Structure 1
Amino acid sequence: MQLSNKTVLVLGANSDVAKEAIKLYIKEGCRVIAASRSTDELNAFAEQQGFMANVIVQYFDATAFDTHQQFYNNLPFKPNIVLYAAGFLKNNEQAMIDWDGSFQMMKVHYCGAVSILNIIVNDKSNTSLEKIVGLSSLSGVRGRKSNFIYGSTKSAFTQYLAGLRQYLFSRNISVHVIVAGYIRSKMTAGLDLPESLMLEPSFIAKPVVYTPARFTIVPGFKWKIIYTILRLMPEKLVARLP
């Protein structure tokens, strides 16, 4: 896909991967609408990078479902490309006893995505919509006792995107999911994760922006192997995983 002069809507634009993707979109000559609750931080990022002429910052709260239609209606430009990168993490032990934290993950990763993406794809007047990309996680491939609440929200998001891809096939709108492993980011800061498996946000951003034709994209050869093993592993062996 030729990216020059495309309008890209980035939802959850304050994430580390989203910011790296914005850099690449701008490099390719795109106009970016960066949407997040953290508008001050996004404005500072755009100014620091020298992107003020190419980035429009908008307030967006993935969990404020009743505002999504108005948010979309008020966009200065309708998108050719949409990236949903909003994220929230509560560790599993906390999530098991903190319903608000669990529900927040559900709202950010799944409910909010379904709400805004349904609005976007139901706008048949936007005949320029070409591509939707969702940032998901390897945690959603199989349920594991260490992170099954977070993982279940990512799994639901991935399945939604899979169905959306089929739904939009006749309109020639492609849908892709980035199934990422451990990313060095604000969200994972302080977690005890294996250094050899950590991926940089800039590495993840490349397949986000330059998406291959397939639906599921797993960045990093080590994570491709892990993804395949997880999908094929018998349940009795998955149960022994941390």
Structure 2
Amino acid sequence: MTSLPPVLILGARSDIGLAVAHRFAAAGHPLQLAARHADTLDPERADLALRHGVSVTLHEFDALDTAGHGAFVEALPQLPGIAVCAVGLMGTQEHSAAEPEAAIAVLRSNFEGPASILAHLANRFEARGSGTLVGISSVAGERGRATNYVYGAGKAGFTAFLSGLRNRLAGRGVQVLTVLPGFVATRMTEGMDLPQKLTAAPEEVAEAIFRGCSKGRDVIYVRPIWRVIMAVIRAIPERVFKKLSL
């Protein structure tokens, strides 16, 4: 029986990251969980290993320590077959607008850090000639809106990066999957008034990612209705759009 390749989850402490870990572990994939203060994830590591009967290792990772990303990849016990980047920081638009340093942290967490680590992995996957890179972006990146344009700008950059990376690696044996979840009920959105019909659970996102990887997809909207919603929002003329409270 051929063993399945390990799945590296960057930002494994997040609700989506842990849901993705459970979904792939349930299918028999070994896991590499990467996060800051990774040792504090030992209870989650033990639970995943016991529940699903797979190997689970912990790896110290800081998305903003871009200078250390190359060494991080080199130190992995095995190059993963799939890497899922669930790193992100929403912050608040009010704080980002008032404090430029807060805005920079949001931009780096949603674009620079994720793009850097996936770039390192992309080079290794390309040299091997196989692998899947998954970037969790956001529909917020499809058009700047007054209520979240700093977060949206970071995600817009990440979406464009993933698109270009996918184009570069086409025909090289490496899949690049862009995931656009829409609203997700997580700790990051706790307290927000989210519309139930447009809000996914972390497990729903994980299932969409698992299926997207297995089917070789390029871009997935976790709930298809978001494809329609964002097409409408993108089509609104700028002179009208700037008068709306979105």
Alignment TM-score, normalising by the size of structure 1: 0.92
Aligned to 1:78: 79
Q: What residue identity is the alignment partner of 2:149? A: F
Of stretches 45-54 and 135-144 in structure 1, the one that deviates more from structure 2 is 45-54
Q: Percent identity?
A: 29
Instruction: Tell me the CA shift for residue 225 of structure 1.
Output: 2.4
- How far apart are the structure 2 equivalents of 1:10 and 1:128? 20
- Asked whether the 8 Å contact 1:182–1:199 carries over to 2, the reply is yes
Alignment CA distance shift 1:191-1:41 (3 Å): farther
Aligned to 1:222: 225
Of stretches 224-233 and 163-172 in structure 1, the one that deviates more from structure 2 is 224-233
Aligned to 2:116: 115
- How far apart are the structure 2 equivalents of 1:138 and 1:76? 34
Aligned to 2:23: 24
Match runs of 1:87-126 below 5 Å: 87-123=88-124
Instruction: Tell me the CA shift for residue 100 of structure 1.
Output: 2.2
In structure 2, stretches of 5+ residues that fail to align are none
Alignment CA distance shift 1:151-1:210 (3 Å): same
Alignment CA distance shift 1:129-1:7 (3 Å): farther
Instruction: Tell me the CA shift for residue 221 of structure 1.
Output: 3.4
Alignment TM-score, normalising by the size of structure 2: 0.90
- Which structure shows the bigger proportion of residues in helix conformation? 2
Instruction: Tell me the CA shift for residue 128 of structure 1.
Output: 5.7
Secondary structure at 2:124 match in 1: coil
- Asked whether the 8 Å contact 2:35–2:60 carries over to 1, the reply is yes
- Asked whether the 8 Å contact 2:126–2:174 carries over to 1, the reply is no
- How far apart are the structure 2 equivalents of 1:203 and 1:161? 22
- How far apart are the structure 1 equivalents of 2:198 and 2:125? 42
Q: What residue identity is the alignment partner of 1:224? A: R
Residue-by-residue CA offset, 1:159-178 (whole Å, 9 max, x unaligned) = 00000001111312111111
- How far apart are the structure 2 equivalents of 1:33 and 1:18? 11
